[in-house]
Structure 1
Amino acid sequence: MSAPGRTIYTVSELADILRALIEDALPRVWVQGEISNFSRPSSGHWYFTLKDAQAQLRCAMFRNANFHIRPQPKDGDEVLVRAQVSFYSPRGDLQLICEHLEPAGEGALLRAFEALKKRLAAEGLFDEAHKRALPRLPRAIGVITSASGAAIQDILTTLARRYPLAPVWLYPVPVQGASAPPAIVHALRELPQRAPVDVVILARGGGSLEDLWAFNDEAVARAIRACAVPVICGIGHEVDVTIADFAADLRAPTPTAAAERVAPDIADLDTGIRQQQARLHHAIERRMETQIRRLDSLDARLQAQHPARRMQDRAQRLDELHGRIIQSMTTRIAALRQGLHRLAAQLQARAPATQIVLRQRRLDTAQARLHGALRRHLANADLRCQRAASVLASLDPRAVLARGYAIALDAQGHVLSDAAQARIGDALRLILARGELDARIEQRRSDH
């Protein structure tokens, strides 16, 4: 529309011109502010006002752009948006068409986090080859955290419940703010020098990315790797991950979980000792049964063999086996006793003294039963050997001669068992129990 000397626009035309000018003149911009008047109609689009102390701008974020943003923002949130400046013609409003939204401050922090993580990983600071195993039975446990936070209470409660044998050395430090990183670095260096700890828990409770930022400090990561003892991190909640977690020898999802990973359950240790004792007793019983079966087998072979020399050899062998069994059992018992003494020495430093006394009494009782059973079985074996010797002696032909009998041999040395085998005048040799006689036949009689 035009008139002499002037150009006249309709409202729609001017609105379109303004929109084109604004969108062409301004590139996509990053804007930080506080959300207010947030609404989400059934369409899924978000509409809100972004404001600061002096001004405010209307914003729209359509469903295809906000679909993956979690959690949904709310009034009062300080956010950072990437947006296209536009002009909304139906209302005549200047507005921002938002394409991306994130909590204010976290974007820069996350970029700094990823950059440091990438650089330290490239140095090999996080390599698994550098990770140290936690001690199975720690003598003392160090804890670096705030002395007033909930994390230390959770850690102390868990350690007292699971493993009261190890003393806990707390090195209190601030866990948030600018003073936290140097304090943590100092604690990681000093605690292993001041206390006889062989593992350190570095912990704090949950919080925002800014709250946990002290644990994303490069100096803290390097101090963890340089610490004289293994370090386990239990920082924040399970979803929280820091640079300290990557540098640590082990990461636990929470402070409580870190205490559980460091401290073995004393009930499990007691069960393990009982199981070892049971296996020891069973091994001794099996060894005894094997030796008894072997003695029975030797005794059976001895009974089946007649010559007295073999009887003597088997008796000697039995004595040797007896000595070897005694020596073996003595050596085994000494080794077992030495092992139990080592266990007792370890338990002396970790468990109540009464438990050690009870286990020593059980060992003494088992040892007495073992010696008693061994003596009874050896006595029975000796008795069986004596009986076998008596049977062999009764079968010796010379024992028959001792009762008054004699063996008659003809001139050719043949044994005479019938009078018809000799003639009158033949020479004979008579073998007695002691000595021999030469005789000649003068008369012959035959049994009828």
Structure 2
Amino acid sequence: MNPYKSFSPQAYASPISGRASAADTSAMSVTQLNRQVKSMLENSFLSLRVQGELSNLAKPSSGHWYFTLKDTKAQIRCAMFKGSNRHLNFAPKEGDEVIVQAKVSLYEGRGDYQLICNSMEEAGSGRLQLAFEQLKAKLLKEGVFDASYKKSIPSLVKHLAVITSPTGAAVHDVLSVLKRRFPGLAVTIYPCQVQGAQAAASIVKALQTVQEQQVCDLVLITRGGGSLEDLWPFNEEQLARSIFACTLPVISAVGHEVDFSICDLVADYRAPTPSAAAEIISPDQDNLRIKIDQLQKSLISNINATLANNHKHHQALAARLKSPQQKLQLQQLQLSALRNRLAIPTKDTLNAAKQQLSFNRQKVMSLNPQTMINNNNTQLAHLHDQLVQFTHHQHLNYRHKLSSAAAMLHSVSPLSTLERGYSITITERQTITKYQQVEIGQIITTKLHSGEIESTITNIHPE
């Protein structure tokens, strides 16, 4: 389709000589001309991405934004209406390098050609954000972020390793909080680069040094806030692998509270800011003194109670202790009583023996084979009746469970869903649940209750 088909300059050319009469219909008005040019531009450039530097940014009370997008050799006016700019996740300012998604149009009132922007992103952030998401998905699939691999943070840190820039604001914030809360905590600064192409390798080397020295029991990796490009070393895979393999627990405090990095996700604990990390690591010395006083009082109380109990126990043992003379007299009395019982045979003993003999005779009679057979037959018949009743009951019970399970299976079956008029759309590999899974021109299959439909995608509507 030719986007310029509706406009032909020759069709509106004036005669070579003479003056157009009032009834001359070949001449077009300025409004008509601008309208034709606007239609040509909008039909020719439906949507495109343009990169440039922001200038002359105006944000009137209407909520619409007006600005100029320029590079070293050219510039173009742009408009971004409030329905589009309110969805941005950053605040653009003069001098920012941005990429806009826009269509070319023309402002008929002045005849200025311009861009109508639908979206805007920081130049470079789109590429970096994509790389971030790809690495995040890769490490997530490998289980690097799993909570089962997270090491516990010591309740009372003895020696802290701080990996950061020795001149940055982050190390100042951390040391200030530690000095205020717990000045007795030993801290070693392991200097490294926190920005630039070599920063990730520098941080990895510092982390290796901490482990080799075997002095510290906790590692803090930190730096202040910045753009996505500034914080990118903390999204490098080599740093993520080193933190995951670290033998010491690691706390990550990178950027501000809204900044999230791969370092935060793989670390054993993520603090929103460097100061918050120092708060988490160090106990408050005033609270610690109170707790020590409480433990001291509790220890003294427990010792006193233990001593009192031991004294009572000692007194009880002393009361139970008898002299050897008293013990010999008691044993002599017991010996005399035993001699009397042995010397005088009792009539009760003979009667007990007779009763035992009678009992043994009855037991022998009960062991008669015929009696045992009769008893066993009776017991066998009783057990047979119980087995029949139990089998019948179990049969009914299993039939009921089978019916219930069949009904439940039917209720959740995809075939039952299809019977109610729903359908399932699939590709060759998977069931389609999101519009991102397909693309224009792709063939898809829709399964119905009866039969299937094959379709070709001609358009995709995200909303």
- Asked if TM exceeds 0.5, the reply is yes
Report Cα offsets for 1:401-433 as digits up to 9, x if no partner.
xxxxxxxxxxxxxxxxxxxxxxxxxxxxxxxxx
Code of the aligned partner of 1:144: I
Return the offset for 1:2.
Answer: 6.2
Return the offset for 1:211.
Answer: 1.1
Report what 2:195 is aligned to. Answer: 176
Return the offset for 1:318.
Answer: 7.0
Code of the aligned partner of 2:154: P
* Candidates 315, 319, 324, aligned match of 1:316: 319
Report what 2:453 is aligned to. Answer: none
Report what 2:107 is aligned to. Answer: 88
Gaps of 5+ in 2: 1-10, 17-25, 324-463
> Do the aligned partners of 1:233 and 1:245 also contact (CA within 8 Å) in 2?
yes
Matches within 5 A, 1:132-171: 132-171=151-190
Measured in 2, the distance between the counterparts of 1:107 and 1:2 equals: 46
Residue 115 of structure 1 aligns to a residue in which SS? helix
Report what 1:276 is aligned to. Answer: 295
TM-score by length of 1: 0.62
Gaps of 5+ in 1: 299-313, 321-448
Tell me whether 117-126 or 40-49 shows the greater mean CA deviation. Answer: 40-49
Q: Is 2:273 aligned against 1:254?
A: yes
Report what 1:224 is aligned to. Answer: 243
Report what 1:244 is aligned to. Answer: 263
Code of the aligned partner of 1:279: S
Measured in 2, the distance between the counterparts of 1:3 and 1:52 equals: 37
Report what 1:336 is aligned to. Answer: none
Q: Is 2:217 aligned against 1:214?
A: no
Code of the aligned partner of 2:115: L
> Do the aligned partners of 1:147 and 1:172 also contact (CA within 8 Å) in 2?
yes
- For the aligned residue pairs, the C-alpha RMSD in angstroms reads 2.8
Residue 90 of structure 1 aligns to a residue in which SS? coil
* Candidates 89, 92, 98, aligned match of 1:73: 92
Return the offset for 1:3.
Answer: 7.8
Code of the aligned partner of 1:247: V
TM-score by length of 2: 0.60
Report Cα offsets for 1:341-378 as digits up to 9, x if no partner.
xxxxxxxxxxxxxxxxxxxxxxxxxxxxxxxxxxxxxx
> Do the aligned partners of 2:14 and 2:27 also contact (CA within 8 Å) in 1?
no
> Do the aligned partners of 1:169 and 1:195 also contact (CA within 8 Å) in 2?
no
Residue 237 of structure 1 aligns to a residue in which SS? coil
Return the offset for 1:27.
Answer: 2.9
> Do the aligned partners of 1:202 and 1:233 also contact (CA within 8 Å) in 2?
yes
Return the offset for 1:295.
Answer: 9.7
* Structure with greater Cα Rg: 1
> Do the aligned partners of 1:192 and 1:198 also contact (CA within 8 Å) in 2?
no
Report what 1:368 is aligned to. Answer: none
Residue 193 of structure 2 aligns to a residue in which SS? coil
Code of the aligned partner of 1:53: T
Report what 1:22 is aligned to. Answer: 41
Residue 105 of structure 2 aligns to a residue in which SS? strand
Report what 1:395 is aligned to. Answer: none
Report what 1:9 is aligned to. Answer: 28
* Candidates 94, 98, 102, aligned match of 2:121: 102
Code of the aligned partner of 1:182: A
Measured in 2, the distance between the counterparts of 1:174 and 1:149 equals: 10
Report what 1:443 is aligned to. Answer: none
Residue 79 of structure 2 aligns to a residue in which SS? strand
Return the offset for 1:243.
Answer: 0.9
Measured in 2, the distance between the counterparts of 1:226 and 1:295 equals: 58
Return the offset for 1:319.
Answer: 8.5
Q: Is 2:238 aligned against 1:235?
A: no
Measured in 2, the distance between the counterparts of 1:272 and 1:319 equals: 49
Give me the identity figure in percent: 47
Measured in 2, the distance between the counterparts of 1:131 and 1:228 equals: 11
Report what 2:406 is aligned to. Answer: none
* Candidates 147, 150, 160, aligned match of 1:131: 150
Report what 2:72 is aligned to. Answer: 53
Measured in 1, the distance between the counterparts of 2:110 and 2:50 equals: 22
Matches within 5 A, 1:286-301: 286-287=305-306
Report what 1:394 is aligned to. Answer: none
Return the offset for 1:131.
Answer: 0.5
* Candidates 120, 142, 148, aligned match of 2:139: 120
Query: How many pairs were matched up?
Result: 304
Return the offset for 1:113.
Answer: 1.6
Return the offset for 1:222.
Answer: 0.9
Code of the aligned partner of 1:317: R
Report what 2:205 is aligned to. Answer: 186
Return the offset for 1:201.
Answer: 0.7
Report what 1:339 is aligned to. Answer: none
Code of the aligned partner of 1:120: L
> Do the aligned partners of 2:52 and 2:97 also contact (CA within 8 Å) in 1?
yes
Report Cα offsets for 1:229-271 as digits up to 9, x if no partner.
1110111122221110001001111112222222233443333
Report what 1:386 is aligned to. Answer: none
Residues 4 and 39 from structure 1, CA distance in 2 versus in 1: closer, same or farther, beyond 3 angstroms? closer
Residues 3 and 168 from structure 1, CA distance in 2 versus in 1: closer, same or farther, beyond 3 angstroms? closer
Residues 140 and 56 from structure 1, CA distance in 2 versus in 1: closer, same or farther, beyond 3 angstroms? same
Report what 1:201 is aligned to. Answer: 220
Report what 1:388 is aligned to. Answer: none
Residue 110 of structure 1 aligns to a residue in which SS? helix
Measured in 2, the distance between the counterparts of 1:265 and 1:42 equals: 49
Tell me whether 217-226 or 43-52 shows the greater mean CA deviation. Answer: 43-52
Return the offset for 1:70.
Answer: 5.2
